[in-house]
Amino acid sequence: MITIDELLHLMRTRRSTRRLSRQPLTPQQEHSLLEAFISAPSSGNSQPWHVRIIRDSPLKQRLRQAALNQSFVEHAAAVFVICADTDRAFKAYHRRGVELYCLQDTAAATQNLLLAAHAMGLAACWVGAFRESSVRDVLSLPESLRPVAIIAVGTAEQQPDTPARRPIHEICPDLGG
């Protein structure tokens, strides 16, 4: 078991990294990232998610265009497209499953993936600014799979600065001591 200090260190030093090398991930690295992903909690353990890994340059280029031309999407070693499986979510929890839980479930799993990437010495950036319909077209996703996050993964070519966090007392007035 790792200590809380080790865990906090991992969390605090993870950065959204946009200067990524194209050096391919190994199958073992991809597998470990997905192990981390599927280890996340989900509503009623419904696991309403689906992941595509894009390594192919022409497809990465089209994803870059779908992601409002954010160039690091194309230059990443691999691009993970995280989808919410709305059919699974509906079967489990009807409207609340589709409108809320599957978004929370996929976000929790995505954060697991980001932390695992960092622990493995990889770097990544979560991309939320993209046209869903374009991503659907690029990957021929069925209607039931809603693309909710694009994760560009690679090796850091430059370490970003640490963006400031709001102080704890501002976001939670209830802390004792």
Residues with Cβ within 8 Å of residue 97, at least 6 apart in sequence = 43, 46, 48, 89, 90, 91
- Give the CB-nearest residue to ligand FMN: 128
Part of the chain binding ligand FMN (CB under 6 A), chosen from 33-41, 47-55, 75-83, 122-130? 122-130
Secondary structure of residue 127 in the 3-state scheme? strand
Which of 13, 129, 132, 133: binder of ligand FMN (CB under 6 A)? Answer: 129
Contact positions with ligand FMN (CB under 6 A) in 53-112: 70
Whole-angstrom distance, CA of residue 169 vs CA of residue 142: 44
Instruction: By CB under 6 A, tell whether 146 contacts ligand FMN.
Output: no
Q: How far is the CB of 140 from ligand FMN (least distance, A)?
A: 23
For the beta carbon of residue 36, count every other beta carbon within 10 angstroms.
Answer: 20
| Cα angle, residue 77 at apex, residues 32 and 152 outer, rounded to 5° | 75
**Least distance in angstroms from the C-beta of 156 to ligand FMN:** 11
Minimal distance, residue 72 CB to ligand FMN, in Å: 7
β strands within 55-131, DSSP E: 78-85, 123-127
Of 15, 19, 55, 131, the residue at the interface with ligand FMN (CB under 6 A) is 15
Strands 123-127 and 145-156: antiparallel
User: Smallest Cα–Cα separation from 40: which of 118, 113, 143?
Assistant: 113
Residues binding ligand FMN: what is the number (CB under 6 A)?
A: 10
Q: Could you say whether residue 134 binds ligand FMN (CB under 6 A)?
A: no
Q: Is 126 in the site for ligand FMN (CB under 6 A)?
A: yes
| Interaction of residue 16 with ligand FMN, rule CB under 6 A | yes
> What is the contact surface with ligand FMN in residues (CB under 6 A)?
15-16, 18, 70, 125-129, 163
